[in-house]
C-alpha cells in the first residue's frame, strides 16, 4: 500500500465534505444576506475541486502502478470527461442555479436525477446543463468517449422523452451528485485495498462509499419544476 494514493484520497475526501456544505449554505446567501451570486460561485468552485481530486485520485492509482488507465469504467470516465470540460471550457459552469438567477432557464427546464427510486440518496439542488456537457466533450480531445457517456447516462432516451413533452434539450440539467457518488463509490470499492484513510474526512467517506448502493442510471426521473 503506497502512501501517495492514501494522501490523495484524504484530499478528495476534504473536497467531498466541502461541496455539500456549500450547497447547504446557499440558503444563507439567498435569504440572510441577499448575495446569491456569492453562494452559487462557492458551489461552482467546490464542484470543480471535487472533479479535480477525482482526476488526481485516478492519476495516483495509475502512478502507483495499481491501474493501467484512468478511464476505468463508464462512471469514472464520465467524471473525468466532465472534469476536462471544467478545466478547458471558457466562462462559467452552465448550471440551473446560475441560469435561474439570470432568468435563462427557458419556459420549461427539465431536471434529471439518477437512482430516482433510492430513498437513501440525497437530492441536491445543483444541476449542470446536459447539452453544455455534451457540446464541450464533443469539441474537446475526449470526443471519442461521448458515445459511451451518452449511453451510460441514457441521454438520447432522456432527450427524446423531454422533447415529446414539449421540453427543450437546451434547458435540461443533470443532478451533479449521482455522477460524483458513483465515481467515488467505484474508486473505493474497486481500489480501496490500495489506499488507507488517513484523516477524519477520509475515514468517514471510505466507510460510507464502501456500503452505499450503486447509482442506477437506468432509474431516472425527469422533473419539470
What is the model's pTM?
A: 0.94
Closest to 21 (Cα-Cα) out of 104, 112, 124: 124
Does the pLDDT of residue 4 top 90, yes or no?
Answer: no
Does residue 105 have a pLDDT over 80? no
The total of structural domains in the chain comes to: 1
User: Can you give the pLDDT at residue 1?
Assistant: 61
User: Which residue segment(s) compose the domain that 79 sits in?
Assistant: 3-223
**Residue 175 host element (H or E):** strand 172-175
| Beta strands across the sheet bearing 220-223 | 127-129, 172-175, 110-114, 220-223
User: Do 209 and 185 contact (CB within 8 A), yes or no?
Assistant: yes
DSSP annotation of 95: B
Amino acid at each position: 500500500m503506497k502512501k501517495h494514493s492514501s494522501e490523495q484520497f484524504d484530499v478528495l475526501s476534504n473536497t467531498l465534505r466541502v461541496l455539500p456544505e456549500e450547497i447547504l449554505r446557499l440558503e444563507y446567501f439567498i435569504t440572510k444576506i441577499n448575495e446569491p451570486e456569492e453562494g452559487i460561485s462557492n458551489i461552482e468552485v467546490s464542484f470543480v475541486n471535487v472533479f479535480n481530486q477525482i482526476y488526481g485520485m485516478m492519476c495516483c492509482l495509475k502512478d502507483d502502478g495499481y491501474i493501467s488507465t484512468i478511464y476505468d469504467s463508464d462512471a469514472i470516465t464520465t467524471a473525468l470527461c466532465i472534469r476536462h470540460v471544467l478545466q478547458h471550457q471558457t466562462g462559467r459552469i452552465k448550471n440551473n442555479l446560475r441560469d435561474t438567477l439570470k432568468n435563462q432557464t427557458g419556459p420549461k427546464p427539465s431536471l434529471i436525477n439518477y437512482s430516482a427510486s433510492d430513498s437513501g440518496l440525497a437530492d441536491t439542488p445543483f444541476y449542470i446543463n446536459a447539452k453544455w456537457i455534451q457540446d464541450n466533450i464533443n469539441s474537446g480531445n475526449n470526443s471519442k468517449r461521448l458515445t459511451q457517456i451518452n449511453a451510460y447516462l441514457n441521454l438520447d432516451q432522456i432527450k427524446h422523452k423531454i422533447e415529446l413533452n414539449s421540453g427543450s434539450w437546451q434547458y435540461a440539467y443533470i443532478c451533479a451528485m449521482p455522477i460524483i457518488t458513483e465515481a467515488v463509490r467505484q474508486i473505493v470499492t474497486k481500489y480501496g485495498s490500495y489506499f488507507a484513510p488517513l484523516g477524519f474526512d477520509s475515514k468517514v467517506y471510505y466507510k460510507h462509499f464502501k456500503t452505499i448502493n450503486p447509482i442506477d442510471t437506468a432509474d431516472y426521473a425527469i422533473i419539470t419544476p
